[in-house]
A and B are shown apart, each in its own frame.
Chain A
């Protein structure tokens, strides 16, 4: 069974630009969550989508947005990039909403210059 796939793995952007990251969950998983990981703050929850609807949202500004498609694939977008957005962005899927067991992808490492 294929795992969670994230693309691209690495990217470099400049301040003010926008970026879109993609995530394909494990087959059959309808929930997709996004996390930001930095050395200072650790893993912080961005948002979760289930059946194309955002179900939960973390404490991030509106520049961070996401969506989910009918095939459960998800994208997240960050607009007007800031230096502090440099991080590893992790996508995770889970088989149901009543479990905390997340299956993570390898992440997309974003560097903002």
Chain B
């Protein structure tokens, strides 16, 4: 079992929809949680970074962490075609080296 599990999708939604992307993790050691976005033929870029349980909002993006159930979510409001990408969730341990999920491919169609 991978440390971070993520449904690969693809997830296809119409423009303007609310998108929910989810991950589960298995290791409960000290950690931060992150969401990276990767466009085709590009390297991943950091979207959200959080430590505590609860919600963290940044514009149209909200990251949610539930440590009791080991569940990480990313919500995208008013999704746009430019949001079409692969979204990677990640967690770090004591070394702060991120362990990534396989990524979920999101397609937002006009």
Contact = CB atoms under 8 A, between A and B. Distances in A.
Contact of B92 (A4, A90, A100): A100
Contacts of A33: 97
Contacts of B42: 106
Interface residues of B, number: 23
Contact of B43 (A41, A44, A107): A107
A50 B13 CA distance: 42
Interface in B23-53: 32, 34, 36, 41-46, 49
Interface string A22-49: 0000000000010100000111110010
Contact of B45 (A35, A43, A97, A104): A104
A97 B2 CA distance: 24
Given A41-B102, A97-B96, 17 more contacts: A42-B2, A43-B88, A43-B100, A43-B102, A45-B97, A45-B98, A55-B95, A90-B43, A98-B96, A100-B49, A100-B98, A101-B34, A102-B46, A103-B45, A103-B46, A104-B44, A105-B43
